[in-house]
Amino acid sequence: MRNGSPGDGRLLSFSEAGFTAAVFREKQPIILRTVACDPEECEDELYRLLLFYRDRRGARNEEAAPLLSRLLVVGEGFEKQRVSEIVNETLDSDLHVLNPHEIGLQLPAEQLEFDLIAAPAGLAMLSGK
């Protein structure tokens, strides 16, 4: 997900019970939060989490690097374009949601969905440290 980009990378994983957000800086997680909420509350909760991230980063005087440079969204239940809009509005950025090709993953379109393998692949990568 990082692919040599400066700034932080964010992974958002949505499910029926809410979402999990992870922010990575130089391959290290700096924020890992699971938010349990109803689907209609996800937008508000995501907005709150982004404000927390922005304020925490500002309090540490880390404005030299971009807030977020990469955004990956997995799971169902929340429109990826809407996530991008919320992130861009809250952090005053111009990010788009990454697709599998942008993170170097080539999938046969009809055989396997990226959302089905992204979470297990991410956990496997983290366990290899």
Phi-psi region of 103 (alpha: psi -120 to 50; beta: other; left: phi over 0): alpha
- Residue with the bigger pLDDT between 94 and 2: it is 94
Neighbours of 118 (CB within 10 A): 20
pLDDT of amino acid 1: 43
Please report where in the chains the tokens 């309090």 appear, as a residue.
59
Write down the pLDDT at residue 86: 93
Token pair, residue 69, equals 């440079």
What is the per-residue pLDDT for 116?
53
**Higher per-residue confidence, 60 vs 84:** 84
Tell me what pLDDT residue 118 has. Answer: 57
The C-alpha atoms of residue 102 and residue 40 are separated, in whole angstroms, by: 29
> What one-character DSSP code corresponds to residue 92?
T
Q: Over the stretch 2-31, which tens digit does the pLDDT of each residue have?
A: 445 567 888 788 888 899 888 888 778 888
* CA 78 to chain CA mean position, Å: 13
pTM over 0.75: no
CATH code for the domain defined by 8-122: 3.30.420.40
- State the Cα–Cα distance between residues 29 and 17, nearest whole angstrom: 22
